[in-house]
Structure 1
Amino acid sequence: MNLKKKLAMSIATGALAVSMIGGGTYAYFNDVETTNNTFAAGTLDLAVNPSVIIDVDNLKPGDWMPRTFDLINDGTLDISKVFITTDYSYDGTDEDFGKHIKVNFLRNEDKSGILLPSNVIISKTLYELKNMSPDAVKNLSHSIFAEKSGLKAGTKDKLAVQFEFVDNGQEQNDLQGASLQLEWTFDAQQTDGQKR
């Protein structure tokens, strides 16, 4: 055998030995475990009871109308804030009837302290409220005896409101036969995220 053939045969034998050694290094013990994980989102579900807070007719200037209603958290998540937005439309007059209907107070009875009530709204006309978004479940009394701000899942807050057809001491004949349709929207907001 000549030198070239011996050299080629040695290289081939070496390559075969290396491949056998390398192939043997892939053997190892193995154990596999699988986990089954779940992510489920909670729900925000705010209800207002009754759904019609006020429905009156034959009003005259000076009349006032007290009402109560509940904000109910029927969801699985706590609510941090409930913003109230006011909108309305009116018929039968060129005068903005919302300037003559006042909310003397909107009070959260569950957030009120012994001495200081938690008045969400104090003496504002519907016209003024169109530019406001008060929080109906905020403890404004800062009393240690009142519930904390927010609305926990499965609980409710009782609210008291008083509307008034304002007697402005002037002739208001242009409001005779007028009507106003009030829409209060209650916008519930979740609490901040937290480590779970």
Structure 2
Amino acid sequence: MGMKKQLSMGLMSVALGVTLIGGGTYAYFSTSATSNNTFAAGTLDLAVEPTAVIDIGDLKPGDSVIRDFELQNNGSLDMEKVFLQSEYHVIDAKGDNTDDFGKHIEVEFLYNADKLDEVIYKTTLDKLKDMSPEAVNKHIFYPSFGEKGLEAGSRDDLVVKFNFVDNGEDQNQFQGDSLQLKWTFQAQQTAGEEK
């Protein structure tokens, strides 16, 4: 055989081999399936009603005021913990204060409107302002909500009693003063779980 014939036979063998290999890759069964998935996040929506818990004037030492408000979980997820951040600003009418007006306003968190004598926790505004969120939850909201927290779609009534403490001393420096109190409520979801 001549060189040209050998080369031609070699090329034809290669072409035949490639054809057989190429044809072999399409000689199996196959199937496919598609899965469409959705992840939707739940919502936390904490509301307080009414938004102004207290608005009162002409207080004197020894006065007390009881107010109730409602915490609402308007979201789709349960709330394990509720935190309260307390801030206040004192407006010193005469500029003669030597003490913090917030130290003289006592706050009693009560169980509910039917049991006004059962105190959950008692402190003063100045101490409440300095409490950590975890301490507030532990002392104020946990006794009210318990292990279940604030479940989705539920509401819980809270009652607060504010006392202008009469300490038996001269409190004239607070005459005409006002205290602007801001409470910010925050909620935390329950722990994640297998769905």
> C-alpha separation between the residues in 1 aligned to 2:191 and 2:177?
44
Aligned residue pairs total 182
Q: Which runs of 5+ in 1 are unaligned?
A: 141-145
User: Residues 62-113 of structure 1: CA distance to partner in whole angstroms, max 9, x if unpaired?
Assistant: 001111111110100000000111100011253321111111x213449xxx
Q: Percent identity?
A: 45
Given residue 106 of structure 1, which amino acid in structure 2 is its aligned partner? F
Shift of 1:54: 0.8
| Larger relative helix fraction | 2
Cα gap change, 1:188 to 1:86, in 2 (>3 Å): same
> C-alpha separation between the residues in 1 aligned to 2:161 and 2:119?
14
Shift of 1:34: 1.9
- The answer to whether 1:193 aligns with 2:184 is no
State the secondary structure of the residue aligned to 1:8.
Answer: helix
In structure 2, the partner of 1:164 is 163
Cα gap change, 1:45 to 1:36, in 2 (>3 Å): same
The TM-score with structure 2 as length reference comes to 0.85
Q: Contact between 1:80 and 1:150, CA under 8 Å: does it hold in 2?
A: yes
In structure 1, the partner of 2:86 is 86
State the secondary structure of the residue aligned to 1:148.
Answer: helix
Matches within 5 A, 1:38-187: 38-91=38-91, 92=93, 93=95, 94=97, 95-103=99-107, 105-109=108-112, 119=120, 121-122=121-122, 124-132=123-131, 133=133, 134-135=136-137, 136-139=140-143, 148-187=147-186
In structure 2, the partner of 1:143 is none
Q: Contact between 2:110 and 2:161, CA under 8 Å: does it hold in 1?
A: no
Q: Which runs of 5+ in 2 are unaligned?
A: none
State the secondary structure of the residue aligned to 2:142.
Answer: coil
Considering only aligned residues, what root-mean-square deviation do their CA atoms show, in Å?
A: 2.1
